[in-house]
Amino acid sequence: MNIAVASGKGGTGKTTVATNLALSLGNVQFIDCDVEEPNANIFLKAKINESEDVNVNYPNIIKNKCNYCGKCSEFCAYNAIAVVPSKVLVFPELCHSCLGCELVCPNDAIDWSNRSVGKIQHGQVNNIDFYQGVLNVGEIQAIPVIKSLKKRIKRDKNVIIDAPPGTSCPVIESINESGYCILVTEPTPFGFHDLKLAIEVVRHLKIQFGVIINRDGIGDNRVELYCQNENIPVLLKIPERKRIAYLYSKGISLVNESHEWHEMFGSVFDKIMQEVNK
């Protein structure tokens, strides 16, 4: 089973849920797709023993072939190429490596170079096969790193994917083709608003999903009532407790602190399997 853990907004406890679920199951593959701010390993504590650069292509203009017709610039939807008199400007950080500019160039004046946009790191802890992506500082495109990460997914293991927050392209790339998606929220107006946005995304992608309510007790019951009215399963409610916040601040997982939490997160997986097999 490939389970993605996502949230409409940041700070709801998505990584807390993903890491505790992985630790409660054991013998899983964990993929941290929050490449702009990967922090799952604060809790998993895997020893990183491999690192590999993620490279992307960008165009080089062959000056003695280019006649500055501007077709490459007209084609590029991302404004990665600009043609001015006697010069073509290339902005590598905007290029999506679609290769379209090469296809429309009438003079075969485009060659390709590559550059690093991030890295994939791999390690092990107990029975968890851990991968994380790290986007280079200053880069604006997380998708190439996430795609490279997902190529490491093994089909013979349960997989936990820690997705980025929000509902933008990196989230969609991370959760797409997952067997199930856990949406983590909090019972606040912001949490409720952004949960509904996340629900629209997973429904559009036709992914089965359920909700975990974190910090239960700090707001109202609108999230729970909404889930009841929409027939959305609430897989777990994590109460607002000072002890939980303390453990989080120290990088200590709940399941390593208490057998009760170990069983509760294990039951989340059982509920997911029941939902999937209905």
pLDDT digits (tens, 9 = 90+) for 143-177: 999 999 999 999 899 999 999 999 999 999 999 99
Burial status of residue 28 (CB atoms within 10 A of its CB: 0-12, 13-18, 19 or more) = buried
Given a cut of 90, is residue 9 above it in pLDDT?
no
Question: Distance between CA 252 and CA 13 in Å, rounded?
Answer: 14
Residues 6 or more apart in contact with residue 215 via CB below 8 angstroms: 12, 13, 186, 187, 238, 239, 240
**Percentage of residues of the chain with pLDDT beyond 90:** 96
- Where are the chain's structural domains? 2-54+118-276, 63-108
Percent of the chain past pLDDT 70, that is, above it, reads 100
- pLDDT of 107 higher than 90: yes
Q: Pairing state of beta strands 209-216 and 47-61?
A: unpaired
pLDDT at 2: 96
The reported pLDDT for the residue numbered 183 is 98
- What lies within 8 Å, CB to CB, of 139 at 6+ separation is 93, 117, 118
Tell me if domain 2-54+118-276 and domain 63-108 are identical in fold. Answer: no
For 260-278, the DSSP string reads HHHHHHHHHHHHHHHHHT-
Backbone dihedral region of 252: left (phi > 0), alpha (psi from -120 to 50 degrees) or beta?
beta
Task: Give kind and range of the element (H or E) at residue 254.
Answer: helix 254-257
Three-state DSSP at 125 gives: strand
- Give the residue ranges of DSSP H helices in 89-137: 100-104
Query: Are the CB atoms for 34 and 175 separated by under 8 Å?
Result: no
Q: What is the mean pLDDT of the chain?
A: 96
Q: What is the pLDDT of residue 278?
A: 82
Residues 45-101 pLDDT 10s? 999 999 999 999 999 999 999 999 999 999 999 999 999 988 999 999 999 999 999
Residue 122: its pLDDT value, please?
A: 98
pTM tops 0.85, yes or no = yes
User: Is the pLDDT assigned to residue 8 strictly greater than 90?
Assistant: no
Which is nearest to 209 in space by CA: 232, 225, 229, 193?
232
**Candidates 3.50.40.10, 3.90.480.10, 3.30.420.40, 3.40.50.300; CATH matching 2-54+118-276:** 3.40.50.300
Reduced to 3 DSSP states, what percent helix, strand and coil does the chain have, rounded to the nearest 5?
Answer: 35, 30, 35
CATH of 63-108, one of 3.30.70.20, 1.10.10.10, 3.30.470.20, 3.90.1170.50: 3.30.70.20
